[in-house]
């Protein structure tokens, strides 16, 4: 499988460039205003990761990577002043890995059935696990020398909550999106 989706032979096509820009703006806004209480204390449903997953599936790994990176940096900078690099890199990795499945899930052609739902959720679980269980806490320890017990516990909570969020909201969003698209080969020739 090539790193960049075959349909978009040029990973930095005009449409992808614009998708990175608009996706990053959406990521920043949903990251700041799109947190919904989950019912568990101190854990919110971060809707912004469902959006990141959708953009990664629609536009591929490079767009996923850059929406995660630019969107998270902008969110931290304009709403909380100081960018927290370890988590920014983790967001970028989530976008990149989910984007690698873009070729197998053709939501743009209206295809999002049982098979695609399973592929999507396997990939998003792997992406979130790598990013939040491994990358974010390890970078926290390397950069900020935070105690390892604290960092890994934090990563575990954030990762688990993001996996559930993307599993529920991401799947629902992609299903709803696929329904708005016309299936390929949906026309039949009249006799």
Partner 1 sequence: MKMLAYAKLDSPIHRLTGAAKLLFFALWSMGAMITFDTRFLVGFIVFGLVLLKVSRVRLREYSFLLYLIGAFFLLNHVAIYLFSPLEGVKIYGTKHVLLQLPGRYDLTAEQLFYQLNIALKYLAVIPIAFLFILTTDPGEFAASLNRVKVSYKIAYAVSIALRYIPDIQRDFQNISFSAQARGVDISAKEKLGKRLRNVIGILMPLILSSIERIETISAAMELRGFGRGKRRTWYKDRPFGPGDYGALAFIAVVLAALVWLTIARGSRFYNVFESPLF
Interface contacts to partner 1, rule CB under 8 A: 12-15, 17-26, 28-30, 32-34, 36-39, 45, 47, 50-51, 54, 58, 66, 70-71, 74, 77-83, 85, 143-150, 153-154, 168-169, 172-173, 176-177, 180
- Give min distance, CB of 86 to partner 1, in A: 10
Residue 175: how many CB atoms within 10 A of its CB?
15
Nearer to partner 1 among residue 1 and residue 183 (C-beta): 183
Smallest Cα–Cα separation from 68: which of 156, 162, 137? 162
Smallest Cα–Cα separation from 100: which of 146, 138, 62? 62
Nearer to partner 1 among residue 13 and residue 103 (C-beta): 13
Helix, strand, coil: what percent of the chain each, to 5?
A: 70, 5, 25
- Give min distance, CB of 109 to partner 1, in A: 15
Nearer to partner 1 among residue 88 and residue 101 (C-beta): 88
- Give min distance, CB of 32 to partner 1, in A: 8
60: left (phi over 0), alpha (psi -120 to 50) or beta: left
- Give min distance, CB of 178 to partner 1, in A: 12
H helix or E strand, kind and range, residue 35: strand 35-37
């Amino acid at each position: 499988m090539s790193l960049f989706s075959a349909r978009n032979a040029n990973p930095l096509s005009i449409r992808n460039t614009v998708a990175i820009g608009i996706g990053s703006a959406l990521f920043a806004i949903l990251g700041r205003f799109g947190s919904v209480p989950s019912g568990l204390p101190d854990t919110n449903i971060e809707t912004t990761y469902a959006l990141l997953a959708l953009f990664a599936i629609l536009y591929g790994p490079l767009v996923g990577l850059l929406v995660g990176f630019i969107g998270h940096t902008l969110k931290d900078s304009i709403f909380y002043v100081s960018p927290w690099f370890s988590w920014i890199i983790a967001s970028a990795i989530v976008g990149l890995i989910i984007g690698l499945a873009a070729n197998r899930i053709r939501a743009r052609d209206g295809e999002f059935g049982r098979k695609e739902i399973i592929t999507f959720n396997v990939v998003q679980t792997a992406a979130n696990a790598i990013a939040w269980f491994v990358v974010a806490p390890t970078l926290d320890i390397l950069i900020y020398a935070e105690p390892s017990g604290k960092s890994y516990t934090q990563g575990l909570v954030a990762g688990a909550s993001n996996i559930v969020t993307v599993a529920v909201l991401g799947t629902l969003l992609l299903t709803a999106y696929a329904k708005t698209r016309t299936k390929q080969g949906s026309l039949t020739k009249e006799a």
